[in-house]
Homo-oligomer: A and B are copies of this chain.
Amino acid sequence: MIRFDCDYGEGAHPLVLKKLADTNLEQTPGYGEDIYCQQAGDMIRAACQKPQAAVHFLTGGTQTNLTVIAALLRPHQGVLCAQSGHINVHETGAIEAAGHKVLALPSTDGKLTAGQIEQAWHTHFSDDNREHTVQPGMVFLSFPTEMGGIYTKQELDAISRVCRRRGLPLYIDGARLGYGLCAPGCDLDLPSLAALCDAFYIGGTKQGALFGEALVINSPALGADFRYIMKQRGAMLAKGRLLGLQFIALLEDGLYFSLARHAVAQAMRIRQAVEQAGLPLLAPSCTNQQFPIFPNTWLQKLEEQFAFTPWGRVDKKHSAVRLCTSWATRPQDVDAFCQAIAAGPEQ
């Protein structure tokens, strides 16, 4: 079985493991107050061109999202996000468990627009009875989106301007940040993305680490007392250095981005094979997730050899699936898939 069902099926890139092994018997202080976390933070600040930013290391995406949102909002505030946003759909109410409503806005492609945010703000604050409704308090978006799409610099700039005009901190979930920044056509990089938001995280779990996300909070005021809230939410790893070490390994010699480029290149090969076979895509992703639509009968055949994730029924006879590549995807596995597609449903 060749698996394309997720991008966290393997362990870590060997250089990440090696870094952990090399330092294994060193003694360091706990809770992220060691020299490796300091060093990784410095590397991230440099890479983002944000010398004043705070960098914190957490172990997973849901944990990072809920901790940041709990830290940034007052009790009566909610977080604006796309209807399909991870916090709205796939975190078992983690944000609500922290007391906050997710203010979901409609989106067909998983992206928010500056106009939507402005309108949500305006709708709320122009209401005489606004105290009876949840106040928008921040904006959440994923880069890339749940559908594999990316924001252009212009789109993100427009969102950023609205957020600043309206006093709404902008937070970007970067679980697959590298896969987005390395996508063909992407005109953003770490510094330009960092410059346009207030906080974001650089995802490690899906991009070569065993586990771990590097959260960047641009403004000291915004991040005041953040470590308390990490601890309170169970998000402060005792052996915090494990996170710092992994990010050092990922950032050395640009490994993070070269792994991402590999994954995206493999995904593009899958997309090309799908398109050449005349199959439609649920969404035009240029990142490591692809969403082709297959006749159900063909899918049944493919499932004998390949694993992927069901992504919804399109009509009686067709279904969408999600295929993920990752830093660990073997080109020969993609070859096999492309050949199967090229051979057609009858093969």
- Residues in A lying within 8 Å of B, measured CB to CB: 3, 5-6, 8-12, 14, 17, 20-21, 23-31, 59-67, 70-71, 74-76, 78, 89-102, 129-135, 205-206, 210-211, 225, 227-239, 242, 328
CB proximity of A69 to chain B, nearest CB, Å: 10
Would you call B24 and A234 a contact (CB within 8 A)? no
Would you call A211 and B78 a contact (CB within 8 A)? no
Would you call B62 and A234 a contact (CB within 8 A)? yes
B-chain residues with CB within 8 Å of residue A5 when the two chains form the complex? 29
Partner of A28, one of B9, B17, B61, B91: B9
Partner of A238, one of B8, B21, B233: B8
29 cross-chain CB contacts under 8 A? A5-B29, A6-B30, A9-B27, A9-B30, A10-B27, A11-B239, A59-B237, A60-B234, A60-B237, A61-B238, A63-B235, A66-B234, A67-B234, A89-B133, A91-B132, A91-B232, A92-B133, A92-B228, A93-B100, A94-B234, A96-B100, A97-B98, A97-B99, A97-B233, A99-B99, A101-B102, A131-B230, A132-B231, A234-B235
Partner of A210, one of B20, B64, B233: B20
B-chain residues with CB within 8 Å of residue A129 when the two chains form the complex? 90
Would you call A63 and B234 a contact (CB within 8 A)? yes
How many Å lie between the Cα of A20 and that of B16 in the bound state? 12
How many Å lie between the Cα of A25 and that of B232 in the bound state? 34
Would you call A25 and B6 a contact (CB within 8 A)? no
Would you call A17 and B9 a contact (CB within 8 A)? no
How many Å lie between the Cα of A62 and that of B135 in the bound state? 17
A-B contact sample (18 more), CB < 8 A, given A11-B25, A17-B21, A75-B98: A3-B27, A9-B29, A10-B25, A21-B21, A59-B237, A63-B234, A75-B229, A75-B232, A78-B96, A94-B233, A96-B96, A96-B99, A97-B233, A99-B99, A131-B227, A131-B236, A135-B225, A234-B235
How many Å lie between the Cα of A26 and that of B11 in the bound state? 7
Partner of A92, one of B11, B64, B231: B231
Which residue of the partner chain B has the closest CB to A17? Answer: B21
Q: Would you list the 6 A-B pairs with minimal beta carbon distance, nearest first?
A: A63-B234, A76-B228, A11-B24, A9-B27, A92-B232, A92-B231
How many Å lie between the Cα of A72 and that of B210 in the bound state? 31
Would you call B76 and A93 a contact (CB within 8 A)? yes
B-chain residues with CB within 8 Å of residue A17 when the two chains form the complex? 17, 20-21, 24
How many Å lie between the Cα of A229 and that of B66 in the bound state? 13
Q: A94-B233, A205-B238, A211-B239 are in contact. Are A8 and B25 (CB under 8 A)?
A: no
How many Å lie between the Cα of A231 and that of B86 in the bound state? 13
How many Å lie between the Cα of A21 and that of B10 in the bound state? 11
B-chain residues with CB within 8 Å of residue A67 when the two chains form the complex? 234
Which residue of the partner chain B has the closest CB to A100? Answer: B96
B-chain residues with CB within 8 Å of residue A71 when the two chains form the complex? 75
Which residue of the partner chain B has the closest CB to A61? Answer: B238
How many Å lie between the Cα of A60 and that of B225 in the bound state? 21
